[in-house]
Copies of this chain bind each other. A is one copy, B any other.
Amino acid sequence: MYNFIYHTPTRVYFGKDEEKKIGLILKEYNPKKVLIHYGQSSVIKSGLLERVKKYLEEENIPFVLLGGVKPNPTLEMVRKGIEIGKKENVDFVLAIGGGSVIDSAKDIANGLANPNDDVWDFSLGKKKPAHTTKKGCILTISAAGSEMSNSCVITNEETHEKRGYNSDFNRLDFAIMNPELTYTVSKYQTACGAVDIQMHTIERFFCKGGDTYLTDEIALAIIKSTKKAGIDSYNNPYDYAARSNMMWASSLAHNGLTQCGREFVMCVHQLEHELSGMYENIAHGAGLAALFPSYARYVYKANIERWTKFAKYLFGTEDILKAISMQEEFYKSIGMPTSLIELGVKEEDLEKLAYNASRGKTRILDGYMKLGYEEMLDIYKMAYKN
């Protein structure tokens, strides 16, 4: 077991009606002005945004609004948020939405607190934030796990680059999680969420390390429960048990719990980021589902023991290839793609994807099997038609 630091300070308010407390919760931080950050039409249509405004007004908390965050949140929106935040003296950023809105809010919060830095340098790893602004969220979709994670993924539309960075300053102060708010999430997005949650834990499970049987058992428990919750949520969007287990899984899968004592490299995520960075219509979860089976078949021989453990616990078989096929069947059963062609990826883009994922043939993803440009290209090619 490797040494590790575990720090998940985000206070979680979980369950029905919890968002009604937002005014009182915010009051504890005594904010001068809150930036309410949100996405496109759904929080307006559902009436949630109006409700939140009312809760804040009831506690006399001043706020300013910034909506319009798209999936794969953009640097452009972050810059806009920082500009408004500076002008309005914002000292608290409240995200209402899912991973995209939360990541955008995190970057805005870091930008506001580090006015002399360019936030894109954080994404590129050229600089690290040294401060942050207080921030919280009301979560409306179970997927990215950003509500408890230390990560933040932003897309630079000018350069077609999607880049993530990890920092303790990316941890929210609080996250309000009412599973009922996810009842209206579409079947497709629900499925994408289940894939993403599972993948956050699967990737950690397959990182290098040893003697972490407690972490392993917890990881497998999360992967297994997410499958059940994902299928049940997909088939019955108003199933509270399913929605609540899935929502809590989204946080635990990505808050660091399942990597304690192991290394941390997210290979499939890195391959996928290039995909949805290049094709803005590709949903992250769908991209992961399209890549994982091919990735799995490509790398499993590098650690037979671990893949056997995975196959046995989750699928009751020691046949790894069979288990990968069964995972594929799970994806199909919730309407997820298992090849790139289904997502409209063009064959002529595969080399460019591998080139970008390998940072111009300079980066190697160091898992049980090392993945450089050539290996990445192999996997993209395998996944193309699969």
A contacts, CB < 8 Å to B:
1-18, 179, 210-215, 217-218, 220-222, 224-226, 228-229, 240-241, 244-245, 248-249, 252, 257, 260-261
Contacts and interface: CB of A to CB of B under 8 A. Distances in A.
Contacts of A225: 213-214, 217
A214 B248 contact: yes
Counting every copy of the chain, the complex holds: 2
6 contacts: A1-B245, A5-B12, A7-B10, A215-B248, A218-B218, A218-B252
Contacts of A15: 1-4
Nearest to A171: B9
Contact of A13 (B5, B12, B210, B217): B5
A218 B222 contact: yes
Contact of A252 (B2, B12, B214): B214
B6 A18 contact: no
Contacts of A229: 213-214
Nearest to A222: B214
Contacts of A261: 14, 244, 248
A24 to B, nearest CB: 13
A221 B217 contact: yes
A106 B218 CA distance: 29
A257 B252 CA distance: 10
Most chain B C-beta atoms within 10 Å of own C-beta, residue among A212, A221, A224: A221
Contact of A6 (B12, B211, B224): B12
A229 B217 CA distance: 13
B244 A1 contact: yes
B3 A241 contact: no
A17 B226 CA distance: 36
A261 to B, nearest CB: 7
Contacts of A228: 213
Contacts of A215: 248
A241 B211 contact: yes
A340 to B, nearest CB: 31
Contacts of A2: 15
Given A218-B222, A225-B213, A12 B7 contact: yes
B1 A11 contact: no
A281 to B, nearest CB: 32
Nearest to A18: B3
Contacts of A18: 3
A211 B11 contact: no
Contact of A260 (B5, B210, B248): B248
A3 B241 CA distance: 12
Most chain B C-beta atoms within 10 Å of own C-beta, residue among A1, A210, A220, A226: A1
A250 to B, nearest CB: 10
Nearest to A15: B3
Contact of A214 (B3, B9, B211, B221): B221
B3 A11 contact: no
Given A1-B241, A218-B222, A248-B260, 9 more contacts: A1-B244, A2-B15, A3-B17, A7-B10, A8-B9, A214-B225, A214-B229, A215-B248, A217-B225
Given A220-B221, A221-B218, A211 B4 contact: no
Contact of A3 (B3, B10, B16, B217): B16
Contacts of A260: 14, 248
A211 B12 contact: no
